[in-house]
């Protein structure tokens, strides 16, 4: 069983998948930072100096000055600003993935063009009629090929 597991792990596609997961996680962190630190502050400024990550709906009825204060007090909250940031993260990652897959499909189509089918007939060099490729004598002129 250990040999099977070792063979499974050492196959190229498993190692490639592990590398892809690690790179994907790093890419996700970059996109999260892009959304939280670069995209959302200008959008919040345009909308009216709003920090989207701090938007929440307090369910306890007690007033809190910020989301951090509500969380520290243990108040139940609906954090729709954080959800909005996560949704934008997802859309950016999905679009980037779409572009990568689209490019890979185009490259694959360019590389994997169908090979020309081998001809099923050939031309007799004496009478120029079409004969099967495997023929050794022409059926029209009876010449030996």
Taking CA atoms, 132 is separated from 18, 30, 64, 127, 144, in Å, by 52, 63, 88, 14, 13
Q: In the CATH hierarchy, which fold is given to the domain comprising 2-113?
A: 1.10.1200
The domain segmentation of the chain, as residue ranges, is 2-113, 118-145
Looking at residue 12, its pLDDT comes to 64
For the residues 1-26, what does the mean pLDDT come to? 78
The tens digit of pLDDT for each residue in 124-133 reads 888 888 888 8
Paired with 137 in beta bridges are 144
- pLDDT per residue over 62-110, tens digit each? 888 888 888 888 889 888 888 888 888 888 878 887 888 888 888 878 7
Instruction: Provide the pLDDT for residue 9.
Output: 67
pTM of this prediction? 0.55
């Amino acid at each position: 069983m250990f040999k099977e597991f070792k063979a499974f792990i050492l196959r190229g596609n498993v190692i490639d998948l592990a590398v892809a997961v690690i790179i994907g996680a790093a890419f996700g962190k970059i996109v999260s930072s892009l959304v939280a630190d670069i995209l959302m502050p200008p959008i919040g400024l345009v909308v009216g100096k709003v920090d989207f990550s701090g938007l929440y709906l307090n369910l306890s009825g007690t007033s809190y000055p910020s989301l951090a204060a509500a969380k520290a007090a243990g108040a139940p909250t609906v954090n729709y600003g954080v959800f909005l940031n996560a949704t934008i993260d997802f859309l950016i990652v999905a679009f980037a993935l779409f572009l990568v897959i689209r490019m890979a499909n185009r490259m694959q189509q360019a590389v994997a063009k169908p090979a020309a089918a081998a001809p099923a007939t050939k031309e007799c060099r004496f009478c120029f009629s079409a004969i099967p490729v495997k023929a050794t004598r022409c059926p029209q002129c009876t010449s030996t090929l």
